[in-house]
Structure 1
Amino acid sequence: MAPAAGDPRPTRHQIVIIGGGNAGISLAARLRRYGANGIAVVEPSSRHLYQPLFSHIAGGTAEVSEATRPQASVIPRGVTWVRDAVVDIDAAQNTIHLASGDQIRYDQLVVCPGIQKDWDAVPGLADAMASKYGASNYEIELAPKAWDLLRDLRRGTVVFNLPPGPLTCGGAAQKPMYLACDYWAQQGVLKDIRVILVVPTPTVFTEAVANKELDRKIAEYGIEVRYDSEITAVDAVARTVTVQDLGAESSLGGSETVAYDVLHAVPPQSAPDWLKATDLPKPGDPSGFVEVDPETLRSIRYPAVWSLGDAAATLNSKSGAALRQQTQVVAKNLMAVLKGKSVSAKYNNYSACPFTVSRSTVVFSEFDDQYRPKPSLPWKGIMRERRATFVLERRILPRVYWNLILKGRA
């Protein structure tokens, strides 16, 4: 709608990118390398975070400082940083509305604000995170607390979980568990610690090669797995979780109450609430992710809108590895549109997840949307447990991220 009399006219940019995380910054940098101008990134946070290291922080193999940089330091040269939060998108009028009350008009819009952690979706879960005994590698503030709790434990019960539904890098939920188990084994106390993993699926991972490797590590560490199950409630005072069986027998009300000494939790996740309320998600989709063509990453109903990363309703498993290819596709297709050409770049649903299964080894799984193996690196046996892939994931990839990916060069 038009601004009211006396209101300032909306600012206009040729390309507006919502979100200054991996997706937004790497895309802006790549577009600049391709010659695009008039780019604005809308991002309220003053910090830029490298999320793959959160698991290492929670597992005691990285420091918080390694995963954070000032947001201003990663904004590409020639790109305008709008430090504000989006509260609405009027795709019919090519306008976004900001928390400050300002508006921005756009020629092309890219929606990549990331994913929302729904801590309140499980009764008592937020209270547990605020207590002395709960932590998570899915929040930068809770990750160092996780390592403090896991490092100091010498006996008792630890519960880890993976929630049902879409989430960012689902494999990350398991990484601190393996890092902690290896640490406890080195300290000689693993035999005195009961480790329980709750997963909503019949296997710990869907891709077969990685799943076999993870099953082997689970047996090695003596981890108890509750398959086809989810945590439906937490009592932070009593330190118990309710584990509900999601299988066929769940119709009989099968549930288990488990007492814990430490709870490492991953919350249910969805699109940001403000995004759910726009016209961009598929009608009737409660997750609220932006409806796009899964190959071109262009909105089905609004040709000037694109989406990638965790906020896009794509077919792949959400991950940074998937995002790297998506960024290239969106950049090429968006530039084609600006030049009056047809879009031709297509995303192939690739994703990957490096599982840190010990403090020196990784299972590096690469797969498509059907969880079929899709290795891209020329290493024989890369999807098996390897020390070399630990070096890649822990040492090399962070440097690639800060120095190449965020600059649109990888």
Structure 2
Amino acid sequence: MPHPTPESPSRRHDVVIIGGGAAGIAVTASLLKRRGDLDIAIVEPAERHSYQPGWTLVGGGVFSADITRRPMDDVIPSRATRYATRGERVDPEAAEVALADGRRLGYARLVVAPGLVLDWGAIEGLEETLGENGVTSNYRFDLAPYTWSLVQSLERGRALFTQPPMPIKCAGAPQKAMYLACDHWRRQGRLDDIEVRFCNAGGVLFGVPDYVPALERYIAGYGIEAACGERLVAVDGPSRTARFAVGGEDGEHEEERGFDMLHAVPPQKAPGFVAESGLANGGGWLDLDAETLQHVRYPAVFGLGDVSGTPNAKTAAAVRKQAPVVAENLLASLDETPLTAAYTGYGSCPLTVERGRIVLAEFGYGGTLQPTFPRWVNDGTQATRRAWWLKAKQLPWLYWNLMLKGHEWLAAPARREPRMESGDARGASGR
């Protein structure tokens, strides 16, 4: 069934959703599963929808890039109205969204789920050399195949893998690219001839200590030089040199390093309209209640996904648990009943440490472990073949056929004490 066509220059919907990524589509499907007659609009300009968790495996030679993308209109629920343009600004007092094409959408409830911005321009010279001169990144669909090409062709030299300051989407992805590359070089008998360095702007290898020992064993086994407090600030592609700000006891200083291959990950931030619309916290991210995923100042606004200022890992697995919480709480707010669904911060990072084995990190707020399966099924603190089977064989199918269609397998919300939220759901001003 074709999507309804938005005809008038201004329209009002029950729910407007900004973003047609994993978060926006999953919550749309979850809402329609619960209340099929909702008038829902999705604001999304892209014509293709990407399964971004698959790009690491594209860069490791496991997947082909084309299987990670589908036409946007094939994945948006048919009962939703799509506006193929950008959301430029939100007026939470008037309960309106201004679109890039000049139209304005009124809403009873708004869901903000536009993802985040990859700030390639924050690293001097990086944009100009991406895709050539040995510079690549699995954070872009078109570059992940180049990563695999570089890994295959490098026989000796120096490979640098960088990680920017947090928060970033899929915090383990910079390491995954490195481990898969090292595994290939080891299998080809080349690893001893390649100097591998992990240049991590953060202070720890991974933010949840329970998973660090397993990762450290792979770091040692591959002979990787892991350095913390090293932030990529500039790249000169033609000369194959990278400049880093390096922290020390006397403050930062800069060091230059040559490379034959550079896997770069840019700093990441929320879209500018979030702060411009008065919806941001002090860091520029969407200011949400960590449990209910309702905006802390505007009760008619909810959010989820990578734009959120909640202290969880920014992963597709987090979205899988967030979508039912937003769907239940948004409908409760429409019905003027207490919000009882709670998100406990679940996120998952399948750390691909070699082809065939994964450390399946699953954790919530405060680093509390939240394993899906008992340890006798899969010990997430160790590298296992069972976790690889889940990541490479099952998760893509679950993403396209369950999560994006509102089938909430192992994603039931936690429960909170029922209480009414303060404030009028039409806006903080109570208008």
Instruction: Calculate the TM-score normalised by the size of structure 1.
Output: 0.94
Distance 1:132 1:242, change over 3 A: closer
Distance in 1 of aligned mates of 2:243 and 2:35:
54
Partner of 2:417: none
Distance 1:226 1:303, change over 3 A: same
Please identify runs of 4+ aligned residues in structure 1 that moved more than 6 A.
none
After TM superposition, the structure 1 = structure 2 runs for residues 3-402 of structure 1, keeping only pairs within 5 Å, are 10-36=10-36, 37-249=38-250, 251=251, 253-282=252-281, 285=282, 287-380=283-376, 381-402=379-400
Amino acid at match of 1:397: L
Amino acid at match of 2:221: E
Distance in 2 of aligned mates of 1:84 and 1:160:
35
Amino acid at match of 1:304: A
How far did 1:371 drift? Answer: 1.8
Mapped contact 1:209–1:384 kept (Cα < 8 A): no
Provide the identity percentage.
39
**What is the number of residues matched between the two proteins?**
398
Amino acid at match of 2:258: A
How far did 1:174 drift? Answer: 1.1
Distance in 1 of aligned mates of 2:223 and 2:244:
19
Amino acid at match of 1:400: L
How far did 1:132 drift? Answer: 3.0
How far did 1:9 drift? Answer: 5.2
Mapped contact 1:348–1:368 kept (Cα < 8 A): yes
How far did 1:376 drift? Answer: 2.2
How far did 1:176 drift? Answer: 1.4
What SS does the aligned partner of 2:351 have? strand
Distance in 2 of aligned mates of 1:162 and 1:201:
8
Distance in 2 of aligned mates of 1:203 and 1:343:
37
Amino acid at match of 2:129: A
Distance in 1 of aligned mates of 2:269 and 2:225:
28
Distance in 1 of aligned mates of 2:320 and 2:208:
20
Mapped contact 2:133–2:237 kept (Cα < 8 A): no
How far did 1:379 drift? Answer: 3.7
Amino acid at match of 1:398: P
Instruction: Calculate the TM-score normalised by the size of structure 2.
Output: 0.90
Partner of 1:4: none
Distance in 1 of aligned mates of 2:334 and 2:145:
45
How far did 1:296 drift? Answer: 0.6
RMSD: 1.3
How far did 1:273 drift? Answer: 2.2
Distance in 2 of aligned mates of 1:9 and 1:74:
25
Distance in 1 of aligned mates of 2:74 and 2:342:
31
Amino acid at match of 2:89: D
Amino acid at match of 2:241: T
Offset from partner CA, 1:362-386 (integer Å, 9 cap, x none): 0001112222322122243232100
Offset from partner CA, 1:175-224 (integer Å, 9 cap, x none): 11111111111111111111111112232112122111111001111111
Mapped contact 1:199–1:225 kept (Cα < 8 A): yes
Mapped contact 1:59–1:177 kept (Cα < 8 A): no
